[in-house]
Amino acid sequence: MIAGAIPHAHPHLSVRKLCHAFGAGALRQEILRGLDADFHAGELAMILGPSGSGKTTLLNLAGTLRAVQTGSVRLDGVELKGAGREELARIRRGIGFVFQTHKLLASLNCLENVMVALVCEPRETPASAREKALAALRQVGLPRAAAAWPADLSQGERLRVAVARAIVRGPGIILADEPTASLDRANGRVVVDLLQEHAHQHGAAVLVVTHDPRIQDAADRIYLLDAGRLVPNPQRGVTASGSES
């Protein structure tokens, strides 16, 4: 574990015997084949693997963006399989998403893009949402970008605004899908360091899927996903079940 990580006895996200497939009949293709893993609050975990290995599918299942077919996915002890629409919507509000591309809205400035994450929060007022969005931009080192348009920022700065949008609600878990793939080394390091900081200092569980070797040293745990299965990572000594060898 990297110094500064917050140890927690109980996993924030837990998957057991998780399987997922696309298609039917002769076209059926198994993507995930019986995954078992725990992801803890206060830690940044990475899942490595080639394109098509099921990394994004796992994130989508954990983020309630796809329905669980077989097995179990639990967030804070709540089983996602079979959960109703309202329950899934409630759970989703506690998740921050960071995508490979920033997915900022070109018609909104950066402050407004971050505030978008708060529009469904009934307790937020325009003033409180603005204050929280400004605080999130300060946290990612872009306080002066509030009035800027996404098109006026560099790719790295846009990704940092996307991180601000992901953390502004103070989510218990952040799911990041190849967040450094489109960035150079320096900007990629900035983004992953921000995610690591949010895990260690704010106690979030951060799960990053990547095939970027430049950022792997930032992980508290590393898993390898290949051919639909989680396998031990011989470099970091972390097994598919999350125990250290």
What tokens were used for 83? 């959960």
Topology of domain 41-68+90-231, CATH: Rossmann fold (3.40.50)
Residues 35 and 229: their CA atoms lie apart, in Å, by: 6
- Model pLDDT, residue 51: 82
pLDDT beyond 70 at 8: no
For residue 191, report the phi and psi dihedrals to the nearest 5 degrees. Answer: -65, -45
Q: Which tens digits make up the pLDDT trace of 46-95?
A: 999 888 888 999 999 999 999 999 999 999 889 999 888 889 988 988 89
Average pLDDT score over residue span 189-204: 92
Residues 99 and 179: their CA atoms lie apart, in Å, by: 6
Work out the percent of the chain whose per-residue pLDDT is above 70.
Answer: 90
∠ CA(114), CA(119), CA(122), 5° rounding? 135
- Model pLDDT, residue 230: 84
Mean pLDDT (the chain) is 87
- Highest mean pLDDT of the ranges 64-68, 226-230, 240-244: 64-68
- Model pLDDT, residue 39: 92
Least confident residue range of 6-15, 36-45, 111-120, 158-167: 6-15
pLDDT beyond 50 at 242: no
pLDDT beyond 70 at 183: yes
Residues 41 and 7: their CA atoms lie apart, in Å, by: 7
Residues 15 and 31: their CA atoms lie apart, in Å, by: 15
